[in-house]
Amino acid sequence: MNVCVLMNPSNDECAAEILEVIPLVMRSIRTEMRRHRTPDLSVPQFRTLAFLRKNRGTSLSGVAEHIGITLPSASKIIDGLVLRKLATRCVSLSDRRHVALALTPLGSARLRAMRKRAKSSLTRMLQPLSAEDLVQIVSSMRRLRPVFALRTPDRAIPHRNTP
């Protein structure tokens, strides 16, 4: 019966698996990030820094949309990063309503260090898996990514415009 499911899972069965397993994985990631006692990066901070690295000069709206949070939330996260000298926030020259966000060298270094640590923690946890397992997982991550990457019809900027 399990085999049967595995051979031809419905969307719904797949959804059920995701709903059980993803939070487990996420908790592991979050715990690792909180692990060390130098106050490190939270998951949202980490994701924000990663976005800034790839999109230097982006606006607050850019961050909010990409991370999937509201503007006030994004503003607060940036507050924290600026306070900790990990990012800069300047008024945009072209349109003074915009802010221009960027990583500081310190932010860049912290991001690299954190990514390295999180990755190596995951790597360690993945030890027991076989090569075939890894192929499957990588492949499915690549299939999932576009599905959940931003701007899926119907739920873009999810929190802002829903009544």
Partner DNA sequence: TATTGTTATACTCTATAACTATA
Partner DNA sequence: TATAGTTATAGAGTATAACAATA
Residues 106-135 that bind a copy of itself (CB under 8 A): 115, 118-120, 122-123, 125-129, 131, 133-135
Least separation in angstroms between residue 78's CB and DNA is 6
Distance CA 57, CA 104 (A): 12
Confirm or reject binding of residue 50 to DNA (CB under 7 A): no
CB burial readout 68-99, b (16+ within 10 A) else e:
bbeeeebeebbeebeeeebbbeeeeeeeeebb
Burial of 111 (0-12, 13-18, 19+ CB in 10 A): buried
- For position 72 contacting a copy of itself by CB under 8 A, the verdict is no
Cα-based distances in Å from 44 to 2, 18, 68: 37, 21, 10
Q: How far is CA 16 from the centre of its chain?
A: 22
Q: Which does 89 bind (CB under 5 to 8 A by kind): DNA, a copy of itself, none?
A: DNA
Tell me if 71 contacts a copy of itself by CB under 8 A.
no
**Is 158 a binder of a copy of itself (CB under 8 A)?**
yes
Cα(14)–Cα(18) distance, rounded to whole angstroms?
A: 6
Q: Is 35 in the site for a copy of itself (CB under 8 A)?
A: yes
Restricting to residues 53-92, which ones interact with DNA according to CB under 7 A? 59-61, 67, 69-73, 75-80, 89, 92
Exactly one of 45, 66, 107, 111 binds DNA (CB under 7 A); that residue is: 45
Which residues contribute to the site for a copy of itself (CB under 8 A)? 5-29, 31, 34-35, 43, 47, 67-68, 115, 118-120, 122-123, 125-129, 131, 133-145, 147-150, 152, 155, 158-159, 162
